[in-house]
Structure 1
């Protein structure tokens, strides 16, 4: 049992210094997976608006909306991952990446 705990602690120790980059990768991947769905939903809401309004809305959505999501969600994801604790952090990160990969695969088959 001690060997497994040491192994998990080592994995978590390798991952911890890169947690900000890992969180950024997770947020960016989720934005790529679901961004088109968000864009489509916004387009449905504003499709009858004037060209200038549609353009401004999409500039705000893409430049400011997605940017703010990325900036503010990365620390939240980092903190959520840290809640796993020193022993389980590595396993949780691996499982989350597998889950995101599964979501991407499922989403790509859908449409």
Structure 2
């Protein structure tokens, strides 16, 4: 048994949790950009409409993205060969760390 097979077989049962972590982390990192775009779209609207738009984005939009993207990403993770699974998981979390560090500096 190779290292790749051993590591992937230990990680695969947690594909659903890993997919959710990836989606949630992406939403946290890019959520400010989505909020800013919505703010630009509704800035001249009445207060009640701006409030409804942000409630819809935060409560419905982010929730729907989590619910829809997580199973899609989990399916992808389960279909990948061992070495690709490990490479994707490692590289995605490194990319998230780099993005988070970059945003912290700004």
Tell me the TM-score normalized by structure 1: 0.86
Q: How does 1:55-94 map to 2 (within 5 A)?
A: 55-94=51-90
CA RMSD, 1 decimal: 1.5
Q: How many residues align?
A: 106
Query: Which whole-Å CA distance do the structure 2 matches of 1:15 and 1:58 have between them?
Result: 37
Shift of 1:22: 0.5
Q: How does 1:20-39 map to 2 (within 5 A)?
A: 20-39=16-35
The equivalent of 1:46 in structure 2 is 42
Q: Deviations over 1:32-76 (max 9, x none)?
A: 111011101101110111111011111100000000000000011
Tell me the TM-score normalized by structure 2: 0.90
Judge conservation of contact 1:84–1:92 (CA < 8 Å) in 2.
no
* Structure 2 residue 7 is the aligned partner of structure 1 residue 11: yes
Gaps of 5+ in 1: none
Query: Which whole-Å CA distance do the structure 2 matches of 1:108 and 1:31 have between them?
Result: 16
Gaps of 5+ in 2: none
Judge conservation of contact 1:8–1:91 (CA < 8 Å) in 2.
no
